[in-house]
Amino acid sequence: MRVTTKGQVTIPLPIREKLGITPAVEVDFIEEKGRVYLVKVKGENIKSRNFQRLRGISTVKMTTNEIMDLTRGEK
């Protein structure tokens, strides 16, 4: 297997199928005693991480109705 100039490799299909690695699944590389292991990241998926990244407290001093009026446009 050859590494591209961008540092990419192709994971063989039988391994992807066995590990359940599909597009958008997060993987990680673990180095241990001179060996490198590819592991599927367990836990939250990309969608939930994106939601967590956007989650927060609003600093806008508007009521819910004012915000809804803005998002719905003019009546």
- Residue 25 pLDDT greater than 80, yes or no: yes
Q: What is the pTM of this model?
A: 0.49
34 in the Ramachandran plot: left (φ > 0), alpha (ψ -120 to 50) or beta? left
- For the chain, the domains span 13-72
Residue 31: pLDDT band (50, 70, 90) is: very high
Rounded Cα distance between 59 and 6, Å, is 40
* pLDDT reported for residue 63: 87
What residues does 36 pair with on adjacent strands? 31
